[in-house]
């Protein structure tokens, strides 16, 4: 059985204890709410898109260490990125969570997961994959709204 | 029946509890969610499938007759278990949720109209909320709510006001989140005094207490087999004959008809009228075995055992963790079942259950299908430990020990 240290890496706990980019953005920022029906976690993602760039992002809501740290790291990773890069990052993350096949798409910009790789251990705890992806699915909705 | 029970022998009846994961024993504290199964239930079901499986109510050969007798025998066992006047008032459904939906859809559609009032409580499971919301959307009925006291009991100070003019009072006999046991008989009386029907969600009550639907004075009672050491896939609706007789059918199809013509159909008698299609035959036989098993232990003994465990767990956790643990619901074990929802040192319930799982301690983390109640508690989720006949003090100790691990990881 995978150990808890695979799941609760120090960097994850750090983002959980001190989440980055907490808060809200006023309209016209895009906004979407996500729920994890399993545990009742709720998250709201605000994204400010200027031209082709995600110029600002904020996250509010409550959740477990995995959903909150994933949201926090996501917010750091996408701020200042182009929409194409953000989409590529979402894909990379979902590949890491083994819920998307690696598209191996040369047209996609190369992106690095960086800190987010700390969440790799979540895959060994399949029940928690939904926690890790909540913020990401909500982000996609916010970008589409 | 107050014979002494050998609780360690009870525990040994449940084969899954012998399972070891990573060399550690299983500490199953999620019975409010669904219960484990004793050998007698597993054997009754497999024996039936091995030696006697056949359709019921349809065929003339001997084996089909035996299957029908076994199926109806299970119904009679359930009838006795809840002290229902008639076996044909016991309707087998898929689960308690389907039973609630049956009441709202069949009785509700036939009897409720725009502006009619249905009274629920703030501690209901979604199974006793959403069917009424659906009817509200369709019919424009009005929902009213009995609030809670700070201690997690029903606040009955304005009961007659809330019930004034109501057509239905539908409430839980025991909360699956707070463990609160409600004054069922008094509530049924209050409902009737107001001219309302009394519907009891007994899903958490029947598995743990002596149930007597007649002394309650209830009109409908619902519960699920899987929470009372029976199989999943079967639930029970008990209703007063007069009401069930007057109700339109719920699902249509085979088994529920007396006759079908090109221009219509007539319904079968109770209980077939509400059992459309091939019923859960194997599951009914398993439920019958579960009822026998619980009856042998004695439900008064079950309740006594769980009251003791509840006190023990409450004391152990509060002595050990003091203000670091908040256990929701009444402190008095007389009015609560063995369900402990708690918040611990600000650690999210999902993380708590993950850490406990490391020690094979199985608890539920989440909203427990009671989101309105969770909002009142000011939490998106709680961790919930629930105890049953196969649990003992060592399981409460294991829970308390495993919680230490959560503080270690989250450094709190
Ligand atoms: C109080 C209560 N009512 C209804 C239900 C629904 O039971 P089922 O899911 O078996 O239909 C439950 C199950 O959690 C419950 O605890």
Q: What is the CATH number of the domain that holds B61?
A: 3.40.640.10
Alpha carbon A78 to its chain centroid, in Å, reads 9
Give the separation between CA B220 and CA B192, rounded to whole angstroms.
Answer: 13
Q: Which residues pair with B93 in a beta bridge?
A: B235
Kindly tell me the burial class for residue A19, based on how many C-beta atoms sit within 10 Å of its own C-beta (0-12, 13-18, 19 or more). middle
Q: Which of B247, B264, B296 is the last residue of a domain?
A: B296
Distances (CA, A) of B69 to B57, B62, B224, B284, B285: 9, 11, 22, 11, 10
B264-304 residue pLDDT tens: 999 999 999 999 999 999 999 999 999 999 999 999 999 99
Domain assignment present for B158 = yes
- Is the pLDDT score of A108 beyond 90? no
**Is-contact B390 B10, C-beta < 8 A?**
yes
Domain assignment present for B35 = no
Q: Which residues are near ligand 1 (CB < 6 Å)?
A: B 95-97, 125, 127, 172, 176, 201, 203-204, 224, 235, 369
Per DSSP, the three-state class of B165 is coil
Residue A115 has φ and ψ, to the nearest 5°, of: -55, -30
Residue B238 has φ and ψ, to the nearest 5°, of: -105, 135
- Give, to the nearest 10 degrees, the angle between helix A10-17 and helix A65-78: 90
Instruction: Name every residue whose Cβ is closer than 8 Å to that of residue B165 and which is 6 or more positions away in sequence.
Output: B117, B194
Residue A90 has φ and ψ, to the nearest 5°, of: -60, -45
Instruction: Count other Cβ atoms within 10 Å, centred on residue A2.
Output: 10
Residue B163 and residue B82 share a domain: yes
Q: What is the CATH number of the domain that holds B303?
A: 3.90.1150.10
- Is the pLDDT score of B149 beyond 90? yes
Chain A residue whose CA is closest to B365: A39
Q: Quick one: what percent of chain A has pLDDT higher than 70? A: 97
Mean pLDDT to the nearest integer, B208-221: 98
For residue A36, what are its two tokens? 């994890």
Chain B residue whose CA is closest to A68: B348
Instruction: Count other Cβ atoms within 10 Å, centred on residue B172.
Output: 28
Tell me: domain A4-144, CATH 3.90.580.10, correct? no
Residue B274 has φ and ψ, to the nearest 5°, of: -105, 15
Residue B304 and residue B285 share a domain: no
Domain assignment present for B37 = no
Q: What is the CA radius of gyration of chain A?
A: 14
Res. B408 pLDDT band, cuts 50 70 90: confident
Residue B103 DSSP class: I
B1-31 residue pLDDT tens: 568 999 999 999 999 999 999 899 999 999 9
Res. A135 pLDDT band, cuts 50 70 90: very high
Question: Ligand 1, from B98, B203, B234: best to mutate by most atoms within 8 Å of Cβ?
Answer: B203
Res. B106 pLDDT band, cuts 50 70 90: very high
Residue B12 and residue B98 share a domain: no
Domain assignment present for B36 = no
- Is the pLDDT score of A106 beyond 90? no
Residue B134 and residue B74 share a domain: yes
Per DSSP, the three-state class of B112 is coil
Residue B331 and residue B193 share a domain: no
Q: What pLDDT is recorded for position B2?
A: 61
- Is the pLDDT score of B412 beyond 60? no
Calculate how far, in angstroms, residue B125's C-alpha sits from the geometric centre of ligand 1. Answer: 7
Q: What pLDDT is recorded for position B240?
A: 98
Nearest partner of B54 among B43, B63, B44, B42, judged by Cα: B63
Q: Give the position of tokens 């497999």.
A: B46
Q: What's this model's pTM, rounded to 2 decimal places? A: 0.93
- Is the pLDDT score of B398 beyond 60? yes
Distances (CA, A) of B37 to B12, B41, B236: 11, 6, 18
Residue B317 and residue B292 share a domain: no
Which residue CA neighbors atom 7 of ligand 1 most closely?
Answer: B96
List, as ranges, residues 19-38 from A with C-beta within 8 Å of B.
Answer: 38
**Is-contact B211 B337, C-beta < 8 A?**
no
**Average pLDDT of chain B to the nearest whole number:** 96
State whether residue A39 sits within 8 Å of chain B by CB: yes
For residue A63, give the nearest of B348, B354, B410 by CB distance: B348
Domain assignment present for B329 = yes
**Beta B382-386 vs B339-344: how paired, if at all?**
antiparallel
Q: What pLDDT is recorded for position B406?
A: 86
Mean pLDDT to the nearest integer, B194-213: 98
Give the residue from B24, B341, B343, B354 with the most A CB atoms within 10 Å of its CB, the best one to mutate.
B354
CA-CA-CA-CA dihedral for B233, B211, B195, B124, to nearest 10: -50
Res. A16 pLDDT band, cuts 50 70 90: very high
Residues of chain B found within 8 Å of residue A7, distances taken between Cβ atoms: 354
Shortest distance between the Cα of A28 and any Cα of chain B, in A, equals 28
Mean pLDDT to the nearest integer, B127-138: 98
Taking CB atoms within 8 Å and a gap of at least 24, the contacts of B2-5 are B2/B298, B2/B300, B2/B301, B3/B298, B3/B301, B5/B297, B5/B298, B5/B301, B5/B305
Q: What pLDDT is recorded for position A105?
A: 67
**Is-contact A57 A46, C-beta < 8 A?**
yes
B379 vs B35, residue with greater confidence: B35
Nearest partner of B396 among B299, B297, B298, B321, judged by Cα: B321
Listing DSSP states for chain A in one string gives ---HHHHS-HHHHHHHHS-SSBS---TTSEEEEEEETTTTEEEEEEEEEETTEEEEEEEEEE--HHHHHHHHHHHHHHTT-BHHHHHHHHHHHHHHTTSS-----TTSPP---GGGGGGGGGGGSGGGHHHHHHHHHHHHHHHH-
- Is the pLDDT score of B186 beyond 90? yes
**Is-contact A42 A67, C-beta < 8 A?**
no
Listing DSSP states for B171-206 in one string gives EESB-TTT-BBP-HHHHHHHHHHTT-EEEEE-TTTT
Residues of chain B found within 8 Å of residue A124, distances taken between Cβ atoms: none
The total number of structural domains in chain B stands at 2
Residue B190 and residue B90 share a domain: yes
Residues of chain B found within 8 Å of residue A65, distances taken between Cβ atoms: 348, 350-351, 410
B381 vs B282, residue with greater confidence: B282
The ligand 1 atom at the shortest distance from the C-alpha of residue B176 is: 16
Listing DSSP states for B242-298 in one string gives HHHHHSPPSS-SSSSEEEEETTEEEEPPTTGGG--SS--HHHHHHHHHHHHHHHHH-
Question: Ligand 1, from B127, B177, B231: best to mutate by most atoms within 8 Å of Cβ?
Answer: B127
Contact B348 A7 (CB under 8 A): no
Shortest distance between the Cα of B381 and any Cα of chain A, in A, equals 6
State whether residue A40 sits within 8 Å of chain B by CB: yes
The ligand 1 atom at the shortest distance from the C-alpha of residue B94 is: 11
Chain A residue whose CA is closest to B368: A39
Contact A39 B349 (CB under 8 A): yes
Chain B residue whose CA is closest to A67: B350
Q: What pLDDT is recorded for position A103?
A: 75
State whether residue B371 sits within 8 Å of chain A by CB: yes
Nearest partner of B65 among B57, B75, B73, B77, judged by Cα: B57
Q: Which of B231, B261, B296 is the last residue of a domain?
A: B296
Residue B308 and residue B216 share a domain: no
In terms of residue numbers, what domain contains B196?
Answer: 43-296
Residue B58 and residue B83 share a domain: yes
State whether residue B345 sits within 8 Å of chain A by CB: no
Q: What pLDDT is recorded for position A112?
A: 84
Contact B380 A62 (CB under 8 A): yes
Q: Give the position of tokens 């009817």.
A: B135
Mean pLDDT to the nearest integer, A85-102: 92
The ligand 1 atom at the shortest distance from the C-alpha of residue B174 is: 1
Contact A13 B358 (CB under 8 A): no
Q: What pLDDT is recorded for position B118?
A: 98
A17 vs A108, residue with greater confidence: A17
**Is-contact B100 B201, C-beta < 8 A?**
yes
Residue B250 and residue B348 share a domain: no
B326-351 residue pLDDT tens: 999 999 999 999 999 999 998 999 99
Nearest partner of B183 among B165, B208, B156, B203, judged by Cα: B156
Q: Which of B267, B296, B325 is the last residue of a domain?
A: B296
Q: Which residues pair with B365 in a beta bridge?
A: B383
Q: What pLDDT is recorded for position B405?
A: 86
B298-323 residue pLDDT tens: 999 999 999 999 999 999 999 999 99
Residue B365 and residue B270 share a domain: no
Mean pLDDT to the nearest integer, A8-19: 93
Contact B374 A8 (CB under 8 A): no
For residue A4, give the nearest of B355, B365, B366 by CB distance: B355
Which active-site residues of B does the annotation give? 369
Give the separation between CA A128 and CA A97, rounded to whole angstroms.
Answer: 10
Shortest distance between the Cα of B403 and any Cα of chain A, in A, equals 14
Domain assignment present for B307 = yes
Give the separation between CA B228 and CA B37, rounded to whole angstroms.
Answer: 9
Residue B337 and residue B209 share a domain: no
Shortest distance between the Cα of B358 and any Cα of chain A, in A, equals 8
State whether residue B366 sits within 8 Å of chain A by CB: yes
Q: CA triplet B215, B220, B226: central angle to 5 degrees?
A: 95
Dihedral sign for Cα A86, A122, B348, B153, please: positive
Shortest distance between the Cα of B116 and any Cα of chain A, in A, equals 31
Q: What pLDDT is recorded for position A107?
A: 67
């Amino acid at each position: 059985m995978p150990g808890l240290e695979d799941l609760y890496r120090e960097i994850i706990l750090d983002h959980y204890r001190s989440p980055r980019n907490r808060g809200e953005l006023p309209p016209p920022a895009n906004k979407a709410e996500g729920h994890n029906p399993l545990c009742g976690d709720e998250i709201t993602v605000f994204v400010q898109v200027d031209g082709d760039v995600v110029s600002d992002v904020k996250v509010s809501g409550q959740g477990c260490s995995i959903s909150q740290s994933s949201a926090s790291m996501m917010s750091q990773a996408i701020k200042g990125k182009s929409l194409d890069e953000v989409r590529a990052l979402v894909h990379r993350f979902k590949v890491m969570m083994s819920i998307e096949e690696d598209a191996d798409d040369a047209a996609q910009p190369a992106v690095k997961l960086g800190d987010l790789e700390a969440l790799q251990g979540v895959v060994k705890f399949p029940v928690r994959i939904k926690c890790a992806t909540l913020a990401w699915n909500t982000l996609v909705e916010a970008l589409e709204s | 029946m107050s014979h002494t029970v050998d609780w360690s022998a009870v525990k040994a009846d449940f084969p899954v509890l012998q399972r070891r994961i990573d060399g550690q024993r299983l500490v199953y504290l999620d019975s409010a969610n669904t219960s484990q199964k004793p050998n007698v239930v597993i054997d009754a079901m497999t024996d039936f499938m091995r030696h006697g499986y056949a359709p019921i109510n349809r065929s003339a050969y001997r084996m089909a007759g035996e299957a029908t007798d076994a199926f109806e025998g299970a119904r009679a066992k359930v009838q006795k278990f809840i002290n229902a006047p008639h076996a044909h008032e016991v309707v087998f459904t898929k689960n308690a949720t389907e039973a609630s939906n049956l009441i709202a859809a069949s009785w509700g559609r036939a009897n409720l109209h725009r502006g009619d009032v249905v009274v629920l409580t703030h501690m209901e499971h979604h199974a006793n909320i959403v069917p009424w919301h659906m009817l509200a959307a369709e019919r424009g009925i009005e929902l009213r709510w009995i609030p809670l006291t700070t201690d997690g009991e029903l606040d009955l100070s304005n009961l007659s006001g809330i019930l004034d003019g109501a057509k239905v009072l539908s409430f839980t006999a025991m909360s699956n989140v707070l463990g609160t046991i409600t004054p069922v008989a008094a509530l049924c009386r209050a409902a009737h005094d107001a001219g309302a029907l009394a519907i009891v969600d007994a899903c958490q009550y029947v598995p743990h207490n002596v149930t007597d639907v007649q002394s309650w004075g209830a009109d409908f009672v619902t519960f699920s087999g899987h929470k009372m050491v029976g199989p999943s896939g079967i639930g029970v609706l008990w209703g007063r004959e007069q009401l069930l007789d007057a109700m339109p059918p719920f699902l249509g199809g085979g088994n529920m008809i007396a006759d079908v013509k090109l221009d219509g159909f007539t319904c079968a008698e109770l209980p077939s009228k509400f059992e459309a299609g091939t019923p859960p035959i194997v599951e009914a036989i398993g439920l019958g075995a579960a009822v026998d098993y619980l009856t042998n232990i004695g439900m008064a003994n079950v309740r006594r055992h769980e009251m003791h465990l509840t006190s023990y767990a409450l004391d152990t956790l509060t002595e050990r963790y003091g203000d670091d643990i908040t256990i929701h619901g009444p402190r008095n074990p007389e009015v609560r079942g063995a369900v402990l929802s708690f918040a611990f040192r600000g650690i999210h319930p999902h993380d708590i259950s993950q850490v406990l799982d490391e020690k094979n301690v199985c608890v539920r983390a989440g909203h427990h299908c009671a989101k309105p109640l969770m909002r009142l508690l000011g939490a998106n989720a709680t961790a919930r430990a629930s105890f049953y006949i196969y649990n003992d003090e060592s399981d409460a100790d294991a829970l308390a020990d495993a919680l230490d691990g959560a503080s270690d990881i989250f450094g709190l």
